[in-house]
Amino acid sequence: MKSFNPISFLLLIYLSFSCSVFSQSASKNSPRERISLDKDWKFAFGHPSDTKKDFNTGTAYFSYLAKAGFGDGAANASFDDRSWRKLDLPHDWAVEQGFSPEASFSHGFKAIGRNFPDKSIGWYRKKITIPESDLGRRIHIAFDGVFRNSIVWINGHYLGNHDSGYLGVEYDITDYINYGGENTISVRVDATMEEGWFYEGAGIYRHVWLNKTNELHVPDNGTFVKTKTKDNTNEISALVTLTNEGKTAKSFRINQTVLDAAGKTVSEKTINSCTLNPRETKDFSTDLAVQNATLWSLENPYLYKMVTSVYEEDKLADTFQTTFGIRTIRFDANEGFFLNGKHVKIKGTNNHQDHAGVGAAMPDALQDFRIKTLKSFGSNAYRCSHNVPTPELLEACDRLGMLVIDEHRMMGSTHIQLDDVKKMIERDRNHPSIISWSVGNEEWGIENDIVGARIASSMQSFVKSIDDTRPATAAFSGGIGSNGITTVMDLLGINYIVNKSTDKQHELFPNQSIWGTEEGSTNATRGEYYRDNQKHIMPAYDKAPSSSFISIENGWKHYNSRPYLAGMFIWTGFDYRGEPTPFEYPSTGSYFGMVDQCGFYKDTAWYLKAWWQNEPTLHLLPHWNWAGKENQSIEVWAYSNCDEVELFLNKKSLGKKTMEKDGHLEWNVNYTPGTLEAIGYKNGKKTITEVVKTTGAQAVLNLASNKNTIEASKNDIAMITVSAKDKSGLAVPIADNEVTFTITGPGKIIGVGNGNPTSLEADKYLETNTVLNIENLKEKIAADFNVSEETQENVATESWQKAFTDDRDTIFGKKVKAVVYRTEFELPANYNETEINLFYNSLGKKQSVFINGHKISSEIPENKKGDTFVLDKQILHSGKNTIAIIAQPLLKKYKWDVVNQNPGTIQIITKAENYKRKLFNGLAQVIVQTTGDTGEITLTATSNGLKKAEIKINAVK
């Protein structure tokens, strides 16, 4: 029996307290805290060129680039953001917009970008409290990903600019903090420019963290666990970076403990007598051994944890967890790819980072859903095209067993590009799922020439210098035989064999490994079987759309029949927003996916399921609802991994056919309504049956969830599939009814979709927040506070002067005891259905406020934080309304003082409409997320003429 180990016992206790990242769970005395800053942000659109719409930021005599702490406008800590919209992260404002033909093709015509300046700058603000007891700790704020070009301030202090939409950024805010009080974070995001030619979202679309450590700590991404397997011993080389952000030297020891998945210590080592000078950062490494380790594999993605504990004397100064897997990888130029010494053919897909309904702002659980969907048809690899993904995607791949190519955004070998490559590798190098770093994709301007060869070669050697355990790759679309990047890569990615011969490349470079980084790019609309250029429909039979492409089947046959090829990545796994090739507006989504934007299978996913995994599979296409096509010939295809398949129409055999490896079967069948039945045989034995029936008209709605229970504390989601059935319970494959959704209990709908690439329906139904600035004030000096005529609803103000024309100096103060200010504001016709708030800022030392002649506050004192009034609808009307304020004027003490001239804003909140979506070829999807509370959530679906459906999901602790 193993003896009791006090250090690992303490670590276990610590881990069980510190794992929850959603709350400030760690106690004040913990050496490290990681606190989610996702909740309770304020948001408003700014403007790239209209100063006023950008909250006059950058207009002060000294602004944030001139002097430290001079963030002005919305960057100023005391800026009044009460009327801004409240939201939680992750947030993508692009998905919330409508579509426009003036918007970008590649971004799916969502109305943002160059032609939409009003919707291209987003401002985020958040207040956080940092306790006094944190004084002395190092405090960092980390953004996992902001699209894009962000500027961050804390308490009006400019922290920096970060332009990448994909790499995160972390700022040390220790010195800027108001300890024991409130701190204001302001972020300006500029999504005017695109980085990619695919939908990228807009805003703070990944998580934000507040990291608290001691002065001596492991910096973010400061560990690198490498594993080597020899016989039954697994050698682990563990590198850890330590940094001393203090002003005195530190002496310490580092303890490295490896825990298995059950939390048991399996290896441990201590590095004694370490020192760091003030502001010094150094790497420390140690070798550990794990006997009989459980290897990370696709079937059993087993994960270990390395716990790095740093002790100054007996005090725990830091503890840092690194999740890793023990596994080996090898690419062989003749035999392909090996995982743990076992040959694995790469069956991969390319994917972008958006999903129906939510765009780029994905809840973490959605990553799992998507990876499981890809795995369900046998895919074992994922290419992050063409950017570094969110960390949660990689965590899902580690946990679920999916190999990954992590991809840098754009080729280049200046320090700017190489620094980004370094950041990607340092952030992601501990993920066992990652098997290669891609340094670029289809760089048409350079990939065929010597400049491209030089850049690719520099990037490859740079990658090796940081991580020698995984090869660099580059996805190449040019021609074989040029003197470009094909001549330098150790692992070459081929994009599309239709225009180049992998055999020729292999002959020219026999020591080079090759895989297909993109193949396919075929187009299909889920559930459609005839091309219609008017309606923007592509048939779902796996046929090359033109001679510039080949079918998925032919692509796979090529890669699967050549042992020297490691495998291929299909363009794409999921459909995505943008690139609606071969169509234009009003198509807004891609047609390339094996599954649609919701994750519903297109037929070709069944082809892959037949050949990418071993479970007996049999699928027939198309559906059998072809009223109007009676007696016309219809192509019926079968996807199966059986040896033979026999097809029957209404019990009559249409012949048994033999399946070719990696192939499919076809029959031409004269349409008669009824039942198509296929029987699959393996070794002469009936193995599997598939039935497709002509259905009746849709009569009943149906809801099905991927989970019946969701975790309230984890922002968990349920993916609900909506369908319609006929009277006998058959799902109707052509149903297109519009369905409305309502929800009760501790859940909310966060997006809807249906996989239709031409849909212009809304993804989100949100309350609207309209802000009216109270401006164009006129003023009149009053004898005292008791005037009544000037505060009436209708007053002739032609003779009044523009407010604040006279300086508020002492002379004014001596002369004037009271001033009446007046202006007007417009309310919409539906104002009665809205909530209207007045966020008032004091114009006087004391003041009374009148709306349409009704006094809503009487002689209230100056309030630097502002006063909030919920306006009574009874005193308001649509169209013109008036506001009058009688105030004892605010005066300057010194010449340079600024007196408030801004009475505030009126906020009009209009309730969200109910979520709704049309079924598209029988299906739609609703994403339900927990509100954080426990209880029963009920989602109800209704549609005219159909019986409604209801589903219950339990939100648990």
Choice from 373, 441, 791, 841 touching ligand GAL (CB under 6 A): 441
Residue 294, judged by CB atoms within 10 A of its CB (0-12, 13-18, 19+), counts as: middle
CB of 460 to ligand GAL, least distance (A): 20
Query: Per-residue x/- marks for ligand GAL, 395-434, CB under 6 A?
Result: ----------------------------------------
Query: Smallest distance, Å, CB 389 to ligand GAL?
Result: 15
Q: Which of 252, 284, 324, 571 binds ligand GAL (CB under 6 A)?
A: 571
Beta-bridge partner residues of 799: none
How many Cα atoms within 13 Å fall on the side-chain side of residue 59? 11
Stretch 808-837: interaction string toward ligand GAL, x if CB under 6 A: ------------------------------
Q: Pattern 782-811, binding to ligand GAL, x per CB under 6 A?
A: ------------------------------
Amino acid symbol at 553: E
Q: Amino acid identity, residue 176?
A: Y
Residue whose CB is less far from ligand GAL, 569 or 606:
569
DSSP three-state, residue 450? helix
Q: Determine contact, residues 414/451, Cβ cutoff 8 Å.
A: no
**How large is the C-alpha radius of gyration of the chain?**
32
DSSP structure string for 904-928: EEEEEEEPPPPEEEE-BTTEEEEEE
The two tokens of residue 456 are 């690719």
Contact letters for ligand GAL, residues 362-391 (x by CB under 6 A) = -----------------------xx-----
Ordered DSSP codes for 271-325: EEEEEE-TT-EEEEEEEEEEETPPPB-SSSB--EEEEEEEEETTEEEEEEEEEE-
Pairing between strand 491-495 and 472-476?
Answer: parallel
Closest CA to 236 of 299, 311, 177, 307: 307
108 and 577 in contact (C-beta within 8 Å)? Answer: yes
Compute the least distance from the CB of residue 517 to ligand GAL, in Å: 8
Calpha distance 785→778 (Å, rounded) = 17
Nearest to 84 by CA among 115, 21, 126: 126
CA distances from 396 to 197, 364, 371, 402, 809 (A): 26, 9, 7, 8, 64
Measured CA to CA, the distance from residue 101 to residue 584 in angstroms comes to 9
* Catalytic annotation present for 442: yes
Report the interhelical angle of 391-400 vs 415-428 (nearest 10°). 40
User: What is the closest distance, in whole angstroms, from the C-beta atom of residue 478 to ligand GAL in the complex?
Assistant: 11
Question: Peptide bond preceding 148: is omega within 30 degrees of 0, i.e. cis?
Answer: yes
Does 889 sit behind a cis peptide bond, omega within 30 degrees of 0 on the bond before it? no
CB of 581 to ligand GAL, least distance (A): 6
Structure tokens at 134: 């944190």
How many other C-beta atoms lie within 10 A of the C-beta of residue 144? 21
Measured CA to CA, the distance from residue 460 to residue 455 in angstroms comes to 9
Indicate which residue of 215, 442, 443, 519 is catalytic. 442
Q: Which is nearer to ligand GAL, 441 or 929 (CB)?
A: 441
Is residue 442 near ligand GAL by the rule CB under 6 A? yes
841 part of the interface to ligand GAL, by CB under 6 A: no
> Of residues 92, 354, 368, 518, which one binds ligand GAL by CB under 6 A?
518
- Distant-in-sequence, close-in-space partners of 29: CB < 8 Å, separation ≥ 6: none
Q: How many CB atoms lie within 10 A of CB 226?
A: 17
Q: How many CA atoms lie less than 13 Å away from 447 in the CB half-sphere? A: 22
Q: Which is nearer to ligand GAL, 467 or 518 (CB)?
A: 518
Contact string (CB under 6 A) for ligand GAL, positions 181-200, x = contact: ----------------x---
Distance CA 176, CA 68 (A): 10
| Site string (145-184) toward ligand GAL, x via CB under 6 A | ----------------------------------------
Residue 444 Cβ, how far from ligand GAL at the closest point, in Å? 9
Nearer to ligand GAL (CB atom), residue 214 or residue 597: 597
- Shortest spacing between CB 273 and ligand GAL, in angstroms: 52
Determine which one of 245, 426, 518, 790 is catalytic: 518
Q: Residues 478 to 497: which contact ligand GAL by CB under 6 A? A: 495
CB of 508 to ligand GAL, least distance (A): 23
Question: How far, in Å, CA of 928 to CA of 113, rounded?
Answer: 29
Cβ 375 to ligand GAL shortest distance, Å: 23
Question: What is the C-alpha separation between 876 and 836, in angstroms, rounded?
Answer: 10
Residue nearest to ligand GAL (CB): 521
Q: Looking at beta carbons only, is 352 or 526 nearer to ligand GAL?
A: 352
Contact 242/222 with Cβ under 8 angstroms? yes
Nearest to ligand GAL of 499, 830 (CB atom): 499
In the complex, least distance from residue 284 CB atom to ligand GAL, rounded to whole angstroms: 41
Cβ proximity to ligand GAL, 246 vs 440, nearer residue: 440
Q: Which of 581, 526, 521, 525 is nearest to 555 (CA)?
A: 521
Q: Does the footprint of ligand GAL cover residue 579 (CB under 6 A)?
A: yes
- The residue from 521, 604, 695, 705 that contacts ligand GAL (CB under 6 A) is 521
Instruction: Report the nearest approach of ligand GAL to the CB of residue 445 (Å).
Output: 14
Shortest distance, CB of residue 351 to ligand GAL, whole angstroms? 11
Cα separations (Å) of 576 from 110, 127, 573, 580, 594? 13, 35, 9, 9, 11
Residues 648 to 687: which contact ligand GAL by CB under 6 A? none
Q: With binding defined as CB under 6 A, does residue 92 bind ligand GAL?
A: no
**Binding-site residue total for ligand GAL (CB under 6 A)?**
11
> According to CB under 6 A, which residues from 190 to 249 bind ligand GAL?
197
* Nearer of residues 558 and 780 to ligand GAL, judged by Cβ: 558
Calpha distance 139→177 (Å, rounded): 9
* Cis before 213 (ω within 30): no
E strands, 313-431, are: 315-324, 329-332, 336-339, 342-343, 346-351, 381-384, 403-407
Which residue lies nearer to ligand GAL by CB, 517 or 625? 517
**Shortest CB 436 distance to ligand GAL, Å:** 16
Residue 280 is a catalytic residue: no
Using CB under 6 A as the criterion, which residues of the chain lie in contact with ligand GAL when the complex forms? 197, 385-386, 441-442, 477, 495, 518, 521, 571, 579
- Catalytic positions, please? 442, 518
